[in-house]
Every structure is written in C-alpha cells, then in structure tokens.
Amino acid sequence: MSGGLTNLGNTCGINSLLQCICYVNKLRDYIISNECEDNTNIKYQLKDIYNKIWNDKASVNPVGCINIIYKIFPSLNRFEQHDISELWMLLSDKLAEEYGTPMSLPSNFVNVESKVYDTLYKNNNKKTSEWIESIQGVQISTIVCPNNNCNNCSWNPEIFTSLVLDIPNQDNSIFLSDLMKNYFKKEELNGWNCDKCKYNGNAYKENTLYSLPDILTVTLKRFAFVGDRYIKLRTSVVIEDEITITILNNKKNYRLKSIGIHHGSIMGGHYTAICYNSNNHCWYHIDDSSSVKVSVNDVLRLLQNNKDVYILFYESE
Ligand SMILES: [Zn+2]
C-alpha cells in the first residue's frame, strides 16, 4: 500500500500528476536516485515526497512541493483547478532544466541526424540528461511540394513530451490506436508556399515518428471547442494497456503504468489517478490522501469504456 497526498485546496490535479509520475518506475527511480541539496528545486521536493510515499508508504502533506510549484510557475493560480496535461508539460520542462548538464555538439553527424540533434540542442537550452532522454520523442513533419516538376521536400523535427490526440465528438466508442492513426494522418494545408518553385496552394503535411522515448505520455484532448463552445468531450475511448510501436525496424513495447482521470464537467471537476505498482503487481485508485487497491478487472473495465480518462503514462519494457 502506497501513500496518498493531502489536498491543499484544489490541488487534486497536481497530486494526481505527482502520483502518475511516481508509479512510472524509471522516472521515480531517477528522481529518488538524484542527489539534491537545494530545497527550492522541484527535483528536491519530488525526491522527498517519493521517498515517503514509496518507501515509507505513508500519506504525505505535499505543502513544500506545492509551494515551490506555485513559486516557479506564477501562471498557476492558487486554489484553482489546473489542467493535468499542461502541468505535465510545465513540470517535465522544469525538471529537464534542473537535471540538465551541458550537451556537446558532435561534428560528424549528417543530414537528418544533425538536424534532429540541433533541434534537441536548442529546445533543451543546450542541456541533456537521462530525464530528457526518457520522456522526449521526436517526430518529423514533412511537406512535399505538389508541383510534379519540383517535389521539393521540406521537413522539420519536432520534439514531444506528450502525444496530444484529438477526440471526435461522437456517441460510439473509439479505439486509442485509431486516435493515434488519425494523429499521423496527412493533414491538408491551405495556401502553402514552396520556397523552391514558388508554388502557392494546397499541400499535405505528414507527421512521422523518428524516435520514441522510454516513457510515452498520451493526452486525450477532451477539452476542445465544438463550434463556439468550449466543452469536455465525453466520447468513450477503448484503451490498450499494452501497445507496440515500430519505427523502421525498431520495435518498442509499452505497458500502461499510470492513468490521470478528470471527473465531472469543464467548470468544476476533480482529478484522481489509477496507478500500477510493479512491486506487488497491484493497481491503486489514488484520490488525494486516499489510496485504495482496485482489481485488475475493474481497471480493464475502465479501459474498455471510459469517458473521463485524460492522460496516460506508458513505460517501455
Ligand atoms: Zn515546389
């Protein structure tokens, strides 16, 4: 039995995210194993909390960590509900900065490799770390000029710390794997300009995966505009607890470790987490300070039919 985290006034989003991260073995082990003396760092606060809830199994008051989070991210208002997916982006970037050590630029890379390297170098403020390598993937967006005499191919690497998948507003359920396929579907651009032949008109942009992180985070984009209304999409998504992704001949198998759930409506709502403890092979439903064991069947039922699952943490095996 692992501990929960006290709610300090609308902190259920932060609490649920901290729990989701804690149950991804590689991330938790990395955070716990890193020495840090400075208690104004998030990595110090997380290490402190994870030592308590993972090793001592006690419920924890995360006041120190929450105060540092509000201090570092002034855009987050106290006592307001936070979007757990946006929190993940903020927190993972901040940790990338804190853990980062200077990245050297090798001179012998060519073409794709060097452009990807350059993008990573700039995106991470010239820093690298095991944290960054564990959570960041690279996709390449490609546009081929439709002018047959030209066929100019412009491409750019893009870094992601979460695959943010669009959800259709529909009554019947949809598979997560189909949402992923849609994500990598060609997207039509209007008024595209070719810088080589000066073609102006429609073209297709396509995203392909270049490298996969060990920790794959997937956000189901449930908060979206439908017409002029910003709503929560409650389309049921069928989620696979194991997924395999292949890039060229490189196959990666992932297992679901943590699920962040947004209950209720867009106006109010509450976050909880369902996480897999790989030490005892049990799932837990963690609702702030309460952590309750749930059966595998309950989790499988949830994955088969759910309208509230918002963020998923997969870890490669
Ligand atoms: Zn062209």
Instruction: Provide the pLDDT for residue 266.
Output: 85
Provide mean pLDDT across the span 242-250: 88
Please give the distance, rounded to the nearest whole angstrom, from the Cα atom of residue 119 to the centre of ligand 1: 24
Please give the distance, rounded to the nearest whole angstrom, from the Cα atom of residue 147 to the centre of ligand 1: 5
Please give the distance, rounded to the nearest whole angstrom, from the Cα atom of residue 160 to the centre of ligand 1: 28
Distance CA 167, CA 145 (A): 29
pLDDT above 60 for 267: yes
Please give the distance, rounded to the nearest whole angstrom, from the Cα atom of residue 202 to the centre of ligand 1: 12
In a domain, 210, yes or no: yes
Please give the distance, rounded to the nearest whole angstrom, from the Cα atom of residue 182 to the centre of ligand 1: 26
Please give the distance, rounded to the nearest whole angstrom, from the Cα atom of residue 232 to the centre of ligand 1: 41
pLDDT digits (tens, 9 = 90+) for 123-162: 888 888 999 999 999 999 999 999 989 988 888 999 999 9
In a domain, 18, yes or no: yes
Provide mean pLDDT across the span 277-306: 95
Count other Cβ atoms within 10 Å, centred on residue 258: 25
Count other Cβ atoms within 10 Å, centred on residue 228: 5
- In angstroms, the Cα distances linking 209 to 4, 91, 246, 292, 316 are 36, 24, 9, 37, 16
Please give the distance, rounded to the nearest whole angstrom, from the Cα atom of residue 152 to the centre of ligand 1: 5
pLDDT digits (tens, 9 = 90+) for 160-173: 999 999 999 999 99
Please give the distance, rounded to the nearest whole angstrom, from the Cα atom of residue 193 to the centre of ligand 1: 8
Q: Please report, for the domain that includes residue 146, its CATH number.
A: 3.90.70.10
In a domain, 116, yes or no: yes
Please give the distance, rounded to the nearest whole angstrom, from the Cα atom of residue 196 to the centre of ligand 1: 5
Please give the distance, rounded to the nearest whole angstrom, from the Cα atom of residue 144 to the centre of ligand 1: 8
Structure tokens at 128: 């690298």
pLDDT above 80 for 292: yes
Please give the distance, rounded to the nearest whole angstrom, from the Cα atom of residue 211 to the centre of ligand 1: 28
Query: Among 139, 92, 90, which Cα is nearest to 119's?
Result: 139
Task: Work out the end-to-end distance of the chain between its first and last CA atoms, rounded to an integer number of angstroms.
Answer: 24
Please give the distance, rounded to the nearest whole angstrom, from the Cα atom of residue 156 to the centre of ligand 1: 16
In a domain, 154, yes or no: yes
Question: Residue type for 165, please?
Answer: L
Please give the distance, rounded to the nearest whole angstrom, from the Cα atom of residue 28 to the centre of ligand 1: 48
Place of tokens 């309950």: 298
Please give the distance, rounded to the nearest whole angstrom, from the Cα atom of residue 210 to the centre of ligand 1: 24
pLDDT digits (tens, 9 = 90+) for 23-48: 999 999 999 999 999 999 999 999 99
- Work out the pLDDT band at 248, boundaries 50, 70, 90: confident
pLDDT digits (tens, 9 = 90+) for 84-138: 999 999 999 999 999 998 876 656 656 778 888 888 888 888 888 999 999 999 9
Instruction: Provide the pLDDT for residue 231.
Output: 93
Instruction: Provide the pLDDT for residue 245.
Output: 93
Please give the distance, rounded to the nearest whole angstrom, from the Cα atom of residue 154 to the centre of ligand 1: 10
Please give the distance, rounded to the nearest whole angstrom, from the Cα atom of residue 120 to the centre of ligand 1: 28
In a domain, 3, yes or no: no
* Candidate from 30-34, 77-81, 226-230 with smallest mean pLDDT: 77-81
Provide mean pLDDT across the span 262-277: 93
Count other Cβ atoms within 10 Å, centred on residue 124: 18
Structure tokens at 273: 């987490």
Distance CA 24, CA 260 (A): 13
Neighbour order of strands in the sheet with 137-144 = 153-160, 137-144, 200-211, 187-193
Range of the domain at 97: 12-316
In a domain, 135, yes or no: yes
In a domain, 107, yes or no: yes
Distance CA 58, CA 2 (A): 7
pLDDT digits (tens, 9 = 90+) for 165-219: 999 999 999 999 999 999 999 999 999 999 999 999 999 999 999 999 999 999 9
What is the number of domains present in the chain?
A: 1
Please give the distance, rounded to the nearest whole angstrom, from the Cα atom of residue 151 to the centre of ligand 1: 6
Instruction: Provide the pLDDT for residue 59.
Output: 86
Please give the distance, rounded to the nearest whole angstrom, from the Cα atom of residue 121 to the centre of ligand 1: 29
Concatenating the DSSP letter of every residue in the chain gives: ----B---SS-HHHHHHHHHHHTSHHHHHHHHHS----TTSHHHHHHHHHIIIIII---B--HHHHHHHHHH-TTSPTTS---HHHHHHHHHHHHHHHH-EEPP--S---HHHHHHHHHHHHHTTTEE-HHHHHH-EEEEEEEE-S-TTT--EEEEEEEESSEEEE----SS-EEHHHHHHHHTS-EEEEEEE-TTT--EEEEEEEEEEEE--SEEEEEEE-EEEETTEEEE----EE--SEEEEEETTEEEEEEEEEEEEEES-SSS-EEEEEEEETTTTEEEEEETTEEEEE-HHHHHHHHHS-S-EEEEEEEE-
Count other Cβ atoms within 10 Å, centred on residue 95: 23
Instruction: Provide the pLDDT for residue 237.
Output: 97
In a domain, 48, yes or no: yes
Instruction: Kindly compute the dihedral angle of the four CA atoms of residues 245, 310, 17, 100, in this order, to the nearest 10 degrees.
Output: 40
